[in-house]
């Protein structure tokens, strides 16, 4: 009964918050739609080409005996025939997975595509055998699990060659970081930075992100790097400092926002429980003034105490959740050379 009462009280607080923020929710819907459009324009989603490269690289490293046929049985489709070792590993991974997406993966040979539009244009006979795969598929999660277990074999640095329509020719250092800000809400972002080795030009925020997105899609391996190593080290150190200053500013903004949200939530909890406490106190006074029996007064006293305890509990939980925990970690870094067409 006590647990049910707590759930009901929490639900009432949530309903009240929704009623008070109806206009804000409407504005939030527009904001979310704009963010989705912005993320799509900037390529902030896992694309089919990236998944294809991810798959090919994995089988080249881990299970070289597997057969991987491109454009089979149609353009932009794949046919995979697993070795007994790979089949055993994948079967073990999806052993308890009863979803439809895991069903074709129980066979040693299967067909799939990373492009939904390809599925839509396949003839009916092929639609039954070719399956759509995205980053949430058990196949990709299996690959990611193995990659994570063997993370020590990877390097988070790279050297690339690329042509760019706007950047001057020359060598550049890049750095990507993961920022995780935890509080009453959690915020996780990727931060990008690019610096020229010779000119010292700095590209941060959206500008750096667009450069690196271009690099991811158009860059090629730079096998024999002939750049100034000392200059590269100095440039990377400066870039790391740039991102560190940005991270400090982001943490300060997040803490200020978190503090504001905390104060709002505290006021709502206090307002809700203060009204309930006042109602219980008024009822208790009425019972006492009427000279009612102690057997009736005691439950009323218990309800008052419970409301006071619930208020203190909710405020304590809010205070604990309001503690911020920012973390900053490197994702990748390296050098690239912008060459002529």
Residue among 162, 249, 160 at smallest CA distance from 205: 249
Q: What Rg value do the Cα atoms of the chain yield, rounded?
A: 29
Residue 217: per-residue pLDDT: 86
CA 14 to each of CA 1, 24, 286: distance values in angstroms, whole numbers, following the listed order? 20, 15, 30
Residue 70 lies inside a defined structural domain of this protein: yes
The whole model's pTM is what? 0.72
User: Is residue 238 one of the residues assigned to a domain?
Assistant: yes
Asked, for residue 338, whether it belongs to a domain, the answer is: yes
Q: What is the mean pLDDT of the chain?
A: 88
Domain identity same for 190 and 297: yes
Q: Are residues 114 and 242 in the same domain?
A: no
Q: Is-cis flag, bond preceding 73, omega within 30?
A: yes
For residue 340, the model assigns a pLDDT of: 83
Assess whether 246 and 265 both reside in one domain.
yes
What value does the mean pLDDT take over residues 297-308? 89
Residues 143 and 187 in one domain: no
Q: In this predicted model, what pLDDT tens digit does every residue of 12-47 receive, in sequence order?
A: 666 666 555 555 555 556 655 666 566 556 666 788
Residues 81 and 179 in one domain: no
Helix and strand element counts for the chain (H, E)? 10, 10
- Predicted confidence at residue 262, as pLDDT, reads 93
Residue 76 shares a structural domain with residue 221: no
**Do the beta carbons of residue 193 and residue 134 sit within 8 Å?**
no
Residue 11 CB neighbour total at 10 angstroms: 10
Percent of the chain exceeding pLDDT 90 equals: 63
Q: What is the pLDDT of residue 26?
A: 57
Residues 141, 282 within the same domain: no
- Domain hosting residue 78, numbered range: 48-152
Per the structure, the count of domains in the chain is 2
Pair 226, 331 in one domain: yes
Our CA dihedral for 236, 43, 331, 203, rounded to 10 degrees, sits at 20
Give the helix/strand (H/E) hosting 41.
helix 22-41
Q: What separation, in Å, do the N-terminal and C-terminal C-alpha atoms of the chain show?
A: 73
d(CA 228, CA 171): 9
Residue at a domain's end among 121, 152, 183: 152
Residues 114 and 183 in one domain: no
Distance between CA 152 and CA 131 in Å, rounded?
A: 32
pLDDT on residue 216? 87
pLDDT at 133: 93
Per-residue pLDDT band at 150 (split at 50, 70, 90) = confident
Q: Assess whether 141 and 231 both reside in one domain.
A: no
């Amino acid at each position: 009964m006590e647990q049910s009462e707590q759930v009901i009280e929490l639900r009432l607080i949530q309903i009240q918050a929704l009623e008070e923020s109806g206009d804000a929710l409407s504005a939030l819907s527009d904001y979310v739609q704009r963010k989705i459009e912005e993320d799509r324009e900037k390529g902030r989603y896992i694309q089919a080409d990236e998944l294809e490269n991810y798959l090919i690289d994995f089988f080249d490293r881990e299970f070289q005996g597997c057969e991987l046929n491109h454009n089979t049985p149609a353009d932009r489709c794949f046919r995979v025939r697993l070795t007994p070792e790979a089949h055993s590993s994948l079967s073990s991974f999806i052993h308890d997975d009863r979803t439809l997406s895991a069903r074709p993966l129980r066979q040693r040979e299967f067909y799939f595509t990373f492009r939904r539009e390809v599925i839509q244009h396949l003839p009916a006979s092929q639609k039954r055998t070719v399956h759509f795969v995205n980053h949430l598929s058990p196949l990709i999660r299996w690959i990611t699990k193995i990659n994570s277990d063997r993370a020590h074999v990877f390097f988070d640095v790279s050297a690339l060659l690329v042509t760019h329509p706007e950047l001057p020719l020359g060598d550049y250092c890049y750095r990507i970081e993961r920022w995780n800000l935890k509080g009453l809400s959690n915020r996780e972002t990727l931060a990008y930075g690019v610096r020229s080795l010779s000119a010292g030009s700095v590209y941060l925020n959206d500008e750096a992100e667009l450069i690196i997105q271009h690099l991811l899609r158009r860059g090629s391996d730079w096998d024999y790097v002939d750049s100034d190593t000392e200059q590269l080290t100095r440039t990377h150190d400066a870039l790391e400092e740039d991102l560190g200053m940005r991270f400090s500013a982001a943490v300060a903004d997040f803490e200020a926002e978190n503090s504001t949200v905390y104060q709002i939530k505290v006021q709502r909890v206090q307002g809700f429980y203060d009204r309930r406490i006042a109602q219980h106190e008024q009822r208790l006074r009425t019972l006492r003034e009427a000279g009612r029996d102690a057997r009736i007064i005691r439950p009323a006293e218990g309800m008052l105490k419970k409301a006071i305890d619930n208020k203190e509990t909710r405020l304590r939980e809010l205070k604990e959740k309001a503690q911020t925990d920012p973390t900053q970690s490197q994702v990748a870094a390296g050098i690239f050379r912008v060459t002529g067409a």
